Amino acid sequence: MFIYHFLISNFFISSAILIIFLVKAFMGKRLSARCNYFMWFFIMILMIAAFVPGTGIPQFINQGIKEAVFKSELSSDINFGSNIKDLYISVNSYSFLYVIWISGLIINLLFLFSGRIKLNRIIKHKETNLLFEDCCKRVGVKADLYISPSVSSPMSFGIIKPLVVIPEIKLSYVQLRHIILHELIHHKHKDIYINYIFCFLGAVYWFNPFVYIMLDRIRLDMEIYCDYSVIEYTRNSIDYGNTILSMAEHKSGLKAANYLSDNKKNLKSRIIRIADFNKKSSIAAGKTVFAFLAAVTLTFSFIINSYGYDMGNSSFAVDGDYIDLKEHFKDYEGCFVLYDTNNDRYTVYNKAMAEKRVSPDSTYKIALALNGLEAGVITAENNEINWDGKENPFDDWNKNHNLDSAMKYSVNWYFQDIDSRLSKSEISDYLKQISYGNMLAGYDSENYWLENSLKISAAEQVDFLKKVYNNDFGFESINVNAVLNSIKLSDNFYGKTGTGMVNGKTVNGWFVGIIDKEDNTYIFSVRIAAKDNATGLAAKKITEDILEDILMIN
C-alpha cells in the first residue's frame, strides 16, 4: 500500500536529516561551505527514492538454474475438481490519509504556483548595465537584469531564461557589484534548479516537520556557499559582509526565487562564516563525511526500496529447475513454482516474479483458518458462524457458514469475524510464528490481506503450504486436517484461489495447492497479473494445464 510505504520512507528520511544535523554539529567549521551545502543532496535522493517502486535485491532471471527435464511416472487420473467459487470484492486503494496528503500537496503547489505568477509580474522593464554585462562575462552566465520598485531584496530566478532582479534603491558601485555577483553565482551553481526541486519536495512532504527545518537550513547553506564564491571573486570579505548587512532590512517572501537578504538568525550565521573565510577547511574531513553519508543513503534507499509498493522481494530465494511455460500463460504475466517432496526439488517459471511479494488476497484464508483453529475461536468439530444479516455482494455469502463452505465460497465476513476475535498482537505473533510473507498486518484489521499491507511471494506460498502439509509448525493435527479438508477439491487435489481487485480492476490472480499421491506429493503456486481478468479461476485453469503437461496427468 502506497501510504504505508510513504510513511515508512518518511521515518528514514527524517532519520537521515537528523544524522546530517548531527554531522554538521560534530564537524563544525572543518567542513567547507560547498560540502555543507552538497551533503543535503543525499536527502534529495532519499526523498525521490520513496517514489521508486520496490524491487528489492535485483534478481537475475534464470541465471544459474537448470532446465527442467521431467520424467515423472505420475500418470493416473487426477480430478482437479470444479466445485469451487472464486468470489471477490473490489477494494478502494484510496485511504483517508491519502486524501489528506493529496489535499495538502495541492494547496502547497498552488501556493508555489501563485508565487511564480507574482514573480512574472515584477519583470516589466529590462535594464542594460555595463557592470552587469561585465559580471556576466566574468562568472560565465547569460542572464537579464531587471530593476523593479516591486521588490525589496535582490533575487534570482528563471531556468530557461535566467533573471536577476534588483530593488529600486540607492546602491554604491561596490554594493551593486556584490549583489550582481551573488545573484549570478546562484545561476552558475544551478541553485535555481535546486531551489525548485526542494520547493516541490517540500510540498510533497508538507506534513513532515523535519523537512521544514531542513529546507530552512538548505537555503542558509546555499547562501553561505554563494557568499564564499562571491568573496573568491572579490577577494574582500569585509566589504562583502557590509553589503550583506546593508541589505538586512530588506526582507523577501517568495520561495520560488533566491534572495540575497535573510532572516536575522541566518544572517548572523552567514556573517560569522564570512568572517571565517580565510580559515581552511579539511578536505579529508569532507571526503570522510561524504563517504559516510553515501553509505547511509545507500542503506536507507535500499530499505525504502525494499518497502516499496509491493513491499519488495521475498527473503525466500527459490533455487531449482527452470521451465519455460510461456505458452501456458499466453497474454498474462505469470509465475509458477512447484515443489516435489520426494526429490526435495523446486521447479520455477519466472523466478523474479515468483520471488516478488504481493497481496495474498483470499489464499491467506488458509493461514487465517489455521490461526482461528489454534486460538480456539473455532474448532474442527464446531466451526459454523452465524450470518449477521448484513447484505453482501453475493447471495452465497448471505447465510450461515462453516469452515468448508466459507472456504468454498471465499466468504470474507466469515474470516473477518474470526480475525476480529483475536488481538492485533496475537495476529502479529502468529504471522511471525509461521513467517508468512512480510508478516505485516498493518492498521486495517479487516482487510490487511486484501491488496493492503500483508504481502507474500509465490515461492513463499509453496514454502508455507509445505510446512502446513508436514505440520512443521507443530499445530494440532486435527486442526491442520480441518484446514486441508476445507480446500480439498477432489480425492487427491487441494487448492485455494485468490483474486485481487483494486478500484474495480483485477490486479492479481492466485491458485495455490497440493497434489497428494501415494508415491509422491507436489505443492504448487501460480500467480498471474497484468490483465483485466487476472482472476483466481484463470490462475486455476492455467495451473491445471501446466500440471497436465509437465506431470503427464490425464
Cell triple for 465: 503450504
3-state per-residue secondary structure call for 45-83: HHHHHCCCCCCCCCCCCCCCCCECCCCCCCCCCCCCCCC
Cell triple for 375: 486460538
What does each C-alpha distance from 121 to 155, 412, 442 come to in angstroms?
14, 59, 49
Give residue 367's identity as a one-letter amino acid code.
A
- 399, 387 contact by CB (below 8 A): yes
What does each C-alpha distance from 151 to 146, 161, 166, 252, 369 come to in angstroms?
11, 19, 7, 8, 69
Q: Where are the alpha helices (DSSP H) in 261-399?
A: 264-275, 283-306, 326-329, 351-354, 364-375
CB count in 10 Å sphere of residue 338: 26
HSE-up (13 A, CA, CB side) for residue 153: 25
User: Which uninterrupted H or E stretch holds 502?
Assistant: strand 493-502
Q: Which residues contact 25 (CB under 8 A, 6 or more apart)?
A: none
CA-based nearest residue to 247, from 262, 234, 237, 258: 262
Cell triple for 399: 447465510
Q: Which DSSP symbol is given to 531?
A: S
Q: Which residues contact 237 (CB under 8 A, 6 or more apart)?
A: 231, 274, 275, 277, 278
402 vs 415: CA distance, rounded Å: 10
Question: Sign of the CA dihedral 133, 137, 138, 139?
Answer: positive
Question: Sign of the CA dihedral 33, 38, 42, 44?
Answer: positive
SS3 state of residue 526? strand
177 vs 467: CA distance, rounded Å: 76
**Candidates 229, 359, 362, 453; catalytic one:** 362
Q: 362 an active-site residue? A: yes
SS3 state of residue 200? helix
- Burial of residue 240 (number of CB atoms within 10 Å: 0-12, 13-18, 19+): buried
> CA-based angle 229:232:238, to the nearest 5?
100
Q: Where are the alpha helices (DSSP H) in 167-208?
A: 173-188, 191-204
CA-based nearest residue to 170, from 246, 117, 66: 246
Cell triple for 88: 471477490
Active-site positions read 362
